[in-house]
Amino acid sequence: MSFTIFSDTRLALARDSLAGLSVGDALGSQFFVPGNDPTDLAAGRLPAPPWSWTDDTEMACSVVRALATAGRIDRDALALAFAGRCEPYRGYGPGAVTILRLIRTGTPWPVAAASAFDGQGSCGNGAAMRVAPLGAYFADSTARAAAQARASAEVTHAHPEGIAGAVAVAVAAALAARARLDGHRPDAARLLAGVAGTLEPDSEVHRGVRRAAELRDRPLTEAVDALGNGSRVTAQDTVAFTLWVAARHLADYPAAIRACVEAGGDVDTTAAIVGGVVAAYAGVGTPGGVPTDWLAAREPLPAWLA
């Protein structure tokens, strides 16, 4: 089935996804602050505001800004935007800081991205953590979402697994946003199968997403054991787990974020990915969507996004 989405609707879906991504990032990162205990969130107690967002949100804002101005990803422009807006204290990994510094000082992005990790390119979770709003924007075409996600990933992540992670998250967000538009929530198995079908079959991310589908009714601890929780900060260790959580809790944003916090690991990034996918379906300020008091506790998004 295909249908037309007007540009205002695309952007509204992307902005809802960004709200979910940024609140997940900002709330998740609170659990690296000493004194904030994950069990408090499970008991309904929120950390004291403001919740500062991190690199996940900063880069996602550049993706949304690119779509708002051009309607598509121009890799050269996106590379320069990522590099120019990078505030290293926002929790960027050392590999990302190096690539973005090279781009900022004139190295072409294909050279900078390929130079990472002794020439293998990055398979980190950075391309996946920023891409959910792009998927929501292309809710009418998983093929377009996948192709544009690949373009957005390549400027920093040359490794096939890093790119596959971004494609998987974008397609999940596209399917979530499409389900919101047509009013049919996909069950977890169907959503995960839809994602797996767009991935290279020989990738670890693909195998992980298929495994996530098999584990869809299993407890959280079992999913973490099998899929990871982002603690190795690779796409392989992060993406399948996040899509397992999002598929399970697609209509309940708070439950989805609580699952990420309970799982531990790279919580700001797992909660950013999950939040971006779930908010594409559940919305903001709606039943099951991003709670308005959580949104109010998040540090305001950068002024340049407007």
Strand partners, 51: 298
Cβ 273 to Mg ion shortest distance, Å: 11
Nearest to 272 by CA among 129, 59, 88: 129
Taking CB under 5 A as the rule, does residue 91 contact Mg ion?
A: yes
Give the nearer residue to Mg ion in terms of CB position, either 174 or 301: 301
Give the nearer residue to Mg ion in terms of CB position, either 91 or 283: 91
Q: Is 56 annotated as a binding residue?
A: yes
Q: Is 76 annotated as a binding residue?
A: no
Which residue number has the CB closest to Mg ion? 54
Question: Using CB under 5 A, which of the segments 71-79, 89-97, 138-146, 160-168 binds Mg ion?
Answer: 89-97
Give the nearer residue to Mg ion in terms of CB position, either 29 or 203: 29
Give the nearer residue to Mg ion in terms of CB position, either 139 or 267: 267
Rg (CA), the chain: 17
The pattern of x and - marking residues 157 through 196 that bind Mg ion according to CB under 5 A reads: ----------------------------------------
Q: Is 140 annotated as a binding residue?
A: no
- Report the distance separating Cα 89 and Cα 3, nearest Å: 42
Give me 62's structure tokens: 């550049």
For the chain, the 3-state helix, strand and coil shares in percent, each to the nearest 5, are 70, 0, 30
Largest CA distance in the chain: 50
> Hey, which residues between 27 and 86 contact Mg ion (CB under 5 A)?
54-56
Q: Is 55 annotated as a binding residue?
A: yes
Q: If binding means CB under 5 A, how many residues of this protein chain bind Mg ion?
A: 5
- Report the distance separating Cα 90 and Cα 96, nearest Å: 12
* Polymer length in residues for the chain: 306
The pattern of x and - marking residues 246 through 285 that bind Mg ion according to CB under 5 A reads: ----------------------x-----------------
- Report the distance separating Cα 290 and Cα 293, nearest Å: 9
Distance of CA 254 to the CA centre of its chain: 16
Give the nearer residue to Mg ion in terms of CB position, either 91 or 275: 91
Give me 297's structure tokens: 């506790």
Question: Using CB under 5 A, which of the segments 77-85, 88-96, 137-145, 168-176 binds Mg ion?
Answer: 88-96
Nearest to 162 by CA among 210, 225, 96: 96
**Helix 220-227 crosses helix 204-214 at what angle (to 10 degrees)?**
160
Give the nearer residue to Mg ion in terms of CB position, either 91 or 194: 91
Cβ 53 to Mg ion shortest distance, Å: 8
Q: Is 266 annotated as a binding residue?
A: yes
- Report the distance separating Cα 66 and Cα 79, nearest Å: 11
Residue numbering of the annotated binding site for Mg(2+): 54-56, 266, 268-269
Residue numbering of the annotated binding site: 54-56, 266, 268-269
- The residues of the shown chain that bind Mg ion, judged by CB under 5 A, are 54-56, 91, 268
